[in-house]
């Protein structure tokens, strides 16, 4: 049995967060690494992704690593990472899962519907920011539309945009 395998109980739930690898270095088990990364995205203003998570109100509501591990269970494989089921929700019991990149891409905020208001006041609803950009013949780029939706600017070239809730 490897040192990593010893970190898990008979039910597959982690019983310790770190182990010593074959090179003698202390390492975190994958579930603990995911726990710390998610917590830091929500609470550490120095984290490069803080503005996308804690900075927009996403909270990390797990009290302990044990609660996290019981909720998620073991990481199925290296192809999985943590995903919030409701992308507008918090990291909390009932709203987290292990998901593949493909599953997470479907769940991204950028796939939310967009309301676009033209300079003349016409309002349009689009399935995505890409569809909105195409509809205005690239007069306003996809990135501008996303910046508008995320509140970085109030308007660009007379256009206003927001996510439809």
So what's the pLDDT on residue 72? Answer: 95
So what's the pLDDT on residue 28? Answer: 94
Q: Read off the pLDDT of each residue in 138-152 and give the average, rounded to a whole number.
A: 79
Note if the pTM is more than 0.75: no
Q: Which domains does the chain have, with CATH numbers?
A: 5-106 (no CATH), 110-163 (1.10.10.10)
* Percent helix / strand / coil, the chain, rounded to 5: 35, 20, 45
Task: Give per-residue pLDDT as tens, 71-112.
Answer: 999 999 999 999 998 888 899 999 999 999 888 877 765 556
Is 131's pLDDT higher than 80? no
Lowest mean pLDDT among 4-18, 27-41, 48-62, 101-115: 101-115
**CA–CA separation, 154 and 100 (whole Å):** 34
So what's the pLDDT on residue 152? Answer: 83
| Closest C-alpha among 102, 130, 98, 97 to residue 116 | 130
Distance of CA 6 to the CA centre of its chain: 30
């Amino acid at each position: 049995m490897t040192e990593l395998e010893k970190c898990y109980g008979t039910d597959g739930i982690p019983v310790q967060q770190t182990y010593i690898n074959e090179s003698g270095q202390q390492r975190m088990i994958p579930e603990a690494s995911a726990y710390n990364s998610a917590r830091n995205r929500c609470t550490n203003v120095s984290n490069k992704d803080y503005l996308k998570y804690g900075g927009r109100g996403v909270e990390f509501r797990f009290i302990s690593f044990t609660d996290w591990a019981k909720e998620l269970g073991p990481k199925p494989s290296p192809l999985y990472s943590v995903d919030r089921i409701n992308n507008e929700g918090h990291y909390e019991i009932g709203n987290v899962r292990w998901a593949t990149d493909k599953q997470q891409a479907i769940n991204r905020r950028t796939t939310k519907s967009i309301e676009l208001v033209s300079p003349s006041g016409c309002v349009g609803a689009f399935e995505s920011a890409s569809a909105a950009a195409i509809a205005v013949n690239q007069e306003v780029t996809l990135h501008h539309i996303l910046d508008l939706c995320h509140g970085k600017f109030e308007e660009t070239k007379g256009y206003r945009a927001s996510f439809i809730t």
